[in-house]
Amino acid sequence: MDPLEKMHFTTIDYVIFALLLVASMGIGLYYALSGGRQRTTQEFLLADRSMSCLPVSLSLIATFQSAVAIVGVPAEIYTHGTQYWFIGCAYILGLLIPAHVFIPVFYRLHLTSAYQYLELRFSKPVRICGTLTFIFQTVIYMGVCVYTPALALNAVTGFDLWGAVLATGLVCTLYTTLGGLKAVIWTDVFQTIVMFAGQLAVIVVGVQQTGGLAEVWRKVWEGNRISGIDLNPDPTERYTFWTLGVGGVFLMLSLYGVNQAQVQRYLSSKTEREAIMSCYMVFPSLQVALALSCVMGLVMFARYCGEDRFHKIGNLSKNEMVLYFVMDMLQDIPGLSGLFIACLFSAALSTISSAFNSLATVTLEDLIKPHCSSMTEARATLLSKGLACSYGLMCLAMAYLTHVMSDSVLQAAFKIFGMVGGPLLGIFCLGMFFPWANSTGALVGLGSGLVMAFWVGIGSIVTRTSGGPAAVSHFNCTAVQLSGNITTAVGTALNSTAVPTSTSSQPMGLQRFYSLSFMWYSALSSFTVVITGLIGSFLTGPMKEEDVTPGTLYPLLGNMLFFVPDNLKQNLCCSTPLGHRPIINVQDVCTEEEEEEEERQNFLPTSPTPVVEHETTV
Ligand SMILES: CC(C)(CO)[C@@H](O)C(=O)NCCC(=O)O
Ligand code: NA
């Protein structure tokens, strides 16, 4: 294996990278010194519930668009063609359902943490289990997020790995601790723009160097990179229309519906309407983000197709491929490689800053406050800043853990989302849609969902099945024998040790279960939670609809059974309409004027909120 010569950075590249860090710090400082100067938890954790939809929507996409997607998706397209692009189909339901089901329920309950819902609906133990599950998920995920760009940068430029990890981790900790959620949201806006600009620059230069759009198209078409829709129903196939378009909806729901990082942004919106609008606005931006990374993969393919270097690139890991391509293309254009590095780090910063703030929120609201009811506001604010800072430092430790257990980062992220986010999605669905579910059922459900998810997840890692080196579609580029090299590349990305490169034998029994595509993990584990949760509830005495806290149910069954007469529905316990008035939480410090203002904005009889629909269906 011939190591690629290290690229180098010019001064201007370093300057651009430094500007990103300085600008982010500046935004943090600005929000530390303006407005309420971060002296209340309402401001620090919820941006005073005053945000409008534009910054919120950009911040929503920034949260789960990390460097993992920026380096992972193009490498996926390069090696396996455009099948992955079909995940864009999942964005439709994956955003409509949060907008019209989860946001109205959470917003009207006037929550701070999504897990407060679990206590209102079930009990305190369920809330604590939910919170701990979320903390576990986020802490692992942020390690992957901070490590990925640093590793890629190190591999290609020789830039110090731990230096980059420390710089991002510390800068992010600082501006998150200083400026609170307002700083997190506004840095997200800035960083999303840098992210798009960096990717666009690479695409434009790449197309130009390949010889124009027509040439790029010819090469990717002849090279078999444009995938048709794959309707293979086999659930062990990594990416098919079903795994992406259906399994992907559950993934999106666990991220955009019930994940605290996102729920907190919905709750920071001025009105429910703004929150719903922001969710709608995520759709086009997320499609743009997806298109940019897919097109970058195609351009990368076209650029090297038919060249000698293809061999070398084939030997790189998936994480390094994109960076190599970028540095190779941009190194003659001063500043552009710096811009792309800034893009990569923007993606990482915007994800870990959301993680720090949401972790501080749930730790304070769900784990500490219930035990210290007499805490003063000043002390709570100080504590939340301390928490944001500690999670920031913990992130550095997690980066080290990721370093030890290297895996293909895109798959690692999807596995974390599915294995831990899936059961969380399940427990919220159980509570919202099924009035019979009780607290015991919820605990049993969450437990079995996690067991199921970890069984298949760990099983697949140990037996190296799910998402293992899938058959590589053959290349048509003249003069290059690629398939072998690419397969090795995928293998190297997955495991440092040898991987069986042939997947021709059909797995049987448990082996087949372990090879379930990781895109189904969310769906599998959330269904497990709902089903075992319902069984557990019926065995221990189902809840009566009238005993459930008002406003915590969403009349899904009632709406679905619209043809059933009302009195029969009453007997089936599925007729409760969605709460019309927010239940004010005692923990929230909100002045009366603010409440009135909110009431006025949310419940204007003439306001064309889509939610009005639910009221008429009853
Ligand atoms: C969340 C999705 C699937 C939305 O397209 C995408 O942003 C993604 O693939 N994320 C991977 C994880 C990450 O970027 O950290
Ligand atoms: Na991000």
Half-sphere exposure (Cβ direction) of 457: Cα atoms closer than 13 Å: 25
How far apart CA 262 and CA 60 sit, in angstroms, is 6
What integer pLDDT is reported at residue 495 of this predicted model?
Answer: 33
pLDDT for residue 117 is more than 80 = yes
Show Cβ contacts of residue 163 under 8 Å, excluding neighbours closer than 6 positions: none
Q: What pLDDT, on a 0 to 100 scale, did the predictor assign at position 505?
A: 59
Q: Which atom of ligand 1 is nearest to the CA of 417?
A: 12
User: Quick one: which of 74, 88, 350, 326 has its CA closest to 195?
Assistant: 350
| Dihedral Cα 148, 154, 159, 160, nearest 10 deg | 80
Identify which ligand lies nearest to the alpha carbon of 415: 1
Q: Choose the most confident range, by mean pLDDT, from 136-150, 281-295, 315-329.
A: 281-295
Q: In 3D, which of 61, 133, 18, 66 has the Cα closest to residue 402?
A: 66
- 41-55, 373-387, 477-491 — which is least confidently predicted? 477-491
Q: What is the distance in A from the centroid of ligand 1 to the CA of 341?
A: 19
Neighbours of 604 (CB within 10 A): 12
> What single string gives the DSSP state of each residue in 330-379?
HTTSTTHHHHHHHHHHHHHHHHHHHHHHHHHHHIIIIIIGGG-TT--HHH
pLDDT band of residue 475 (cuts 50, 70, 90) is low
pLDDT tops 70 at residue 4:
no
Question: Does residue 66 line the site of ligand 1, with CB under 6 A?
Answer: yes
Quick check: 515 and 416 in contact, CB under 8 A?
no
> 58, 63, 68: which to mutate for ligand 1, most atoms within 8 A of CB?
68
Name, of 88-97, 402-411, 602-611, the range with top average pLDDT.
88-97
This prediction has a pTM of: 0.86
Q: CA 149 to CA 397: how far, in whole Å?
A: 16
Q: What is the mean pLDDT of residues 164-182?
A: 92
User: How confident is the model at residue 561, as a pLDDT?
Assistant: 78
Measured distance CA(367)–CA(154) in Å, rounded: 38
The verdict on the CB of residue 355 being under 6 Å from ligand 1 is: no
What ipTM does this complex have? 0.96
Q: Which domains does the chain have, with CATH numbers?
A: 44-466 (1.20.1730.10)
Is residue 109 predicted with pLDDT exceeding 80? yes
Confidence of residue 304 (pLDDT cuts 50, 70, 90): confident
Phi and psi torsions of 308, nearest 5°: -60, -40
pLDDT in tens, 559-615: 777 777 777 776 665 555 565 544 444 444 444 444 444 444 444 333 333 333 343
Tens-place pLDDT, residues 354-371:
999 999 999 999 999 999
Question: Which pLDDT belongs to residue 330?
Answer: 82
Q: Whose CA is nearest to atom 9 of ligand 1?
A: 69
Per-residue pLDDT, 403? 78
Higher pLDDT, 91 or 500: 91
Given a cut of 70, whether residue 293 has pLDDT beyond it is yes
Task: Ligand 1, residue 70: give the atom nearest the CA.
Answer: 14
Look up tokens 């009431």; give the residue: 599
Amino acid 482: pLDDT: 40
Listed in sequence order, the DSSP H helices in 211-370 are 213-222, 241-242, 248-252, 260-267, 272-304, 309-314, 318-330, 336-362
Tell me what percent of the residues of the chain surpass a pLDDT of 90.
Answer: 56
- For residue 314, report the distance from its CA to the centre of ligand 1, in Å: 24
Burial of residue 447 (CB within 10 Å: 0-12, 13-18, 19+) is middle
Which residues have C-beta under 5 Å from ligand 2, the single-atom ion? Answer: 62, 65-66, 347, 350-351
What is the rounded average pLDDT for all residues in the chain?
Answer: 84
